[in-house]
A = this chain, B = another copy of it.
């Protein structure tokens, strides 16, 4: 079964989350079951780039990765959209592993796929209230339980924070899943700003505000607070 791919790029660094800074290639799949208000990759699901979606076999994706990254990479990140919608990612993971590549994947955790257990660095990023989406805790519980029993790699939770409500949501998530590493990420509410320096300085200020809030919390003790490094570096540009 073919995979709907909207872009393949790299090598670059992973700018956020559990493998922040890691040299990696990106494969971005099309399609999402959510429509977050602040989604920074709407082009993967809103139809505006429909003509860019390529239906690719896993083997073709591997070839494309080699063409672009030659022998310069050891890690591939699958993002979206929501790649968790696609059962056929299974074959891609196997091929990547056959090539001795580690595999990271990010999904909001709205659907379970058996291949989640094979991902080396799995990020579950349930969406806080500001997104306008509702978390299905039954599904998320099931995913986290299943991973606890069967995952070969590592798993983390990531929550993007735009406001106080989101921080409260993150506290709930942390209390519900205390054994899963939690990453808090500064929300970028300026996704159309094109002055890169101004954006960096603005987001640094937001980052500092988030740090201040988290530092005084007695609930959010064992967490990491991170920015999106790619936004500091390349602003809102894509494919870097």
Contact = CB atoms under 8 A, between A and B. Distances in A.
Contacts of A73: 221
A75 interface: yes
Contacts of A26: none
Interface residues of A, number: 39
Given A197-B201, A233-B207, A223 B23 contact: yes
A233 B218 contact: no
A96 interface: no
A204 interface: yes
Nearest to A233: B208
A211 interface: yes
A201 B197 CA distance: 7
Interface in A79-125: 102
A217 interface: yes
A200 B211 CA distance: 17
Interface of A: 11-13, 19-23, 70-75, 102, 183, 197, 200-201, 204, 207-208, 211, 214-218, 220-227, 229, 232-233
Given A23-B220, A23-B221, A222-B23, A233 B215 contact: no
Contacts of A208: 233
Nearest to A214: B23
A217 B74 CA distance: 11
Nearest to A75: B222
